[in-house]
Amino acid sequence: MNRFPIKVTYGIMATIELARHDRSTPLQAKTIASRQGIPSRFVEQILQGLKQAGIVRSLRGAQGGYILSQDPRHITLAELVNSMNGTDVSSSTVHGTTEHSENRLVSNTILSTIWAQVQEAEQAVLRVISLQSLVEQSQKLEYQRSLMYHI
């Protein structure tokens, strides 16, 4: 089950590609799209959001493109997810005075407390996962796949 919107998933994949690439030369959006299988129409939009969040930098020109703004060991999955998904959890509050509305308000209050706990646990997990660890997992999976093809 994927709890992330596709935009977040694509953003993570794009940053993994940037982290695997030499940080001294920028990587073009179309290259990221083709290597990661991301629709090219989303890549620029996602990279602009990551740029606004300070996770990537862009360089203009014929040899331009995108690079990570810091070492992948210092970028957490929480930073990536929150920059693309937003950090605010919207909880709907129901206003009104009917008995049905009051019951809904109590239910929402109980559930919002639970969802806040779930979100905090999720953030705790995401904060300990670095972009570098995702790169290493990706490389390990690619290595395992290449062994399977040789059998």
| Number of domains observed in the structure of the chain | 1
In a domain, 121, yes or no: yes
What pLDDT sits at residue 144? 84
Give 64-107 pLDDT, tens digit per residue. Answer: 999 999 999 999 999 999 998 865 433 333 344 455 566 677 77
In a domain, 38, yes or no: yes
Beta strand ranges found along the chain (DSSP E): 56-59, 65-68
What pLDDT sits at residue 65? 94
Domain boundaries, position 27: 6-150
CA atoms 104, 109, 110, 113: torsion sign: positive
Q: How confident is the model at residue 133 (pLDDT cuts 50, 70, 90)?
A: very high
In a domain, 1, yes or no: no
Give the domain CATH number at 111.
Answer: 1.10.10.10
Residue 41 φ then ψ, to 5°: -70, -20
Among residues 95, 91, 123, 96, which one has the least CA distance to residue 110? 91
Q: How confident is the model at residue 1 (pLDDT cuts 50, 70, 90)?
A: low
Q: Look over the chain and give the mean of its residue pLDDT values, rounded to a whole number.
A: 85
Q: What tokens appear for 91 in the block?
A: 């909880």
In a domain, 19, yes or no: yes
What pLDDT sits at residue 110? 84
Residues 6+ apart with CB under 8 A from 16: 36, 131, 134, 135, 138
